[in-house]
Structure 1
Amino acid sequence: MFNIALFGCGRIGKVHAVNIAANPETQIRAVIDPYQEGAMQLADQYGADVMTVDEAMSDPDIHAVCICSATDTHADLIELAAKAGKAIFCEKPIDLSLARVRTCLEVVEASGVPFLVGFNRRYDPQFRTLKDLFESGAIGKAETLVITSRDPSPPPVDYVKVSGGIFRDMSVHDLDMARFIMGEDPVSVSAHGSCLVDPEIGEAGDIDSAVIVLHFPSGAMANIINSRRSGYGYDQRIELHGSKGMLKAGNVREHLVEHWGEEDCSSAKPQYFFLERYEKAYIAEWQHFVDVLEGKVEPQCSGYDGEQALVLAEAALESLNAQNTVKLG
């Protein structure tokens, strides 16, 4: 049984708490959060102790950390855990600064501890099946990839102001997915965007609608479409076209019942938000981390992957501002 220190008791921390407790090989040993009331509630729920950062890092009975705290705490906690010899799972991003990410990864590499970055969509059953079929040769050589990601409604402006912007906060998932599916790093990035949904997002210095084009060394291309508002649920689709056909992963709907009548035919909307849509992905992601702890596998999403996703997000922002294509490598 692996004892886990959970950092952060917010929305995503609670998601991971459920999966840590449900897995037969892990249990929550410590909960750490500056909001003491929330920490105590979560600790009581799972039979854990409320600890300080120092207490958790120095506890020899804690084998690993699960970092779900505020973004600006991630890199510091990663470094502390690495120096303490704890295995590390950290929600994306490592940090919003590429320079800070790189200094953090130097510490992790020097420590030799396992490190998994939480890009959960890699573990989604639909997307994983698509990748497996592609790698089996089902559609031959990849030619074009289209990733559509639209939130059901825009986030609060206060969140936008601290999020790092749409490319670092939202598009970064799709940029990682493009690398994951294609199995190669892009050589150029071109991004275009507008503020079409919420004027307050524009006033905060961000955009809410974007299109990103990636070119890969193989000649293949990826097109990423992002919006902060769909109006019909959490729109998550992938289409990969190759020399021998196409693979397509559609939306997961609220239910599979369709209504057919004289007037029209209808089906359910996509599931509303990421907590429902990626429930199975979060479970599979934690199981993968357990496999890493047991020494069965290497982390499928490494610190390098976390760094490269941010490299692409930064390149997209540079492209948008300069209105040109950014070359990489």
Structure 2
Amino acid sequence: MEITVRSLDLDESGILEQLDALEEAMDIELFGAVSKRTPQQRRALLADTPYMRMNRWVAEVEQLEGGRSLAGVAVLFLPQTENLDSVDVGLSVHPALRGRGVATALIEQALRPAIAATGRSRVSFWGEIPQSGDADDPELPTNRVARRLGVERRTMGVCRTTALPTPDGLLDELAAEAAEKTDGYRILVWEDTVPDEHIETFGVLLRQLDLDDPDEDFESEAGDYGPERIRHREKRNAAMGTQVLIAVALAPDGSFAAHSEIHVQSAPGTSLAFQENTLVMPEHRGHRLGLALKVANHRRLAETFPHLTRLVTWNSHVNPWMISINEKLGYQVAFREIGYQGAVEA
């Protein structure tokens, strides 16, 4: 099979639609549901920002009936405000074409030369493995990719999914459980945009999320999230078609104690949502705020997006508190995800 690797041109006719088809095939394989984007929303997803620059390539294969089809895509992410010594690798191959050299071609012809040319010293990569079995099995496709990139396992996460809508009876039961410990706290809910009067404090929550992420030996510098960065993120979400359900817990003293988000794509055909960014500030833990926030957002999800069929989330395998909350809400393991890091090879 002849594989051609070339730079991704976002202005090329039909390429954004091909990328959408690739992502849809991967969503179906991993989650059994899809998160759709229009071509313009995908263009926004792949556009550089003041905080992240991207190099992008595609791999194509010849079709029997003539012409070429998209087999895979690689993205090299270069952080611009923190982690300035690091690059992050994104690599996707169509499920029907795995094991045929597509990932190898993207790594050898595009990623490795580009990584070396950055002058940065550390490379990071995340890849999926089955929910059970030996995570260090050298024959796992993700571990073969890691060897080619020169990176080693540093941490592990677990992806869980749950069917939607979450039963009302279960949410009522969990809300009552949370209420036993949340006396004096109030839950505020927003859509897409953080109110001006709360934006400074919201940035503190986002930084704490970075600081608290239980990533074991995976190294990452926490970001600073001032008003300008938060507003930029909101504008980018709008351009990408990402709708955000935000829930925060307000402590008795008026400070922010916790927050949680769910992200949903607005494009027709979307059936999948993503549970993101659940954090309880250290001084407010033990009040079941994580459970209370997730229950509130799961209710809103059913009311606002009744067409969705599945919700997905990730947790570190060493985060038993959030895992327990997710299991109460009906989440089940779909697969594991390994975080790899290593020094950039000369």
Length-normalised TM-score, structure 2: 0.29
Which structure features the higher share of helix residues?
1
Q: Which has the higher strand share?
A: 2
Q: Structure 1 length as normaliser, TM-score?
A: 0.31
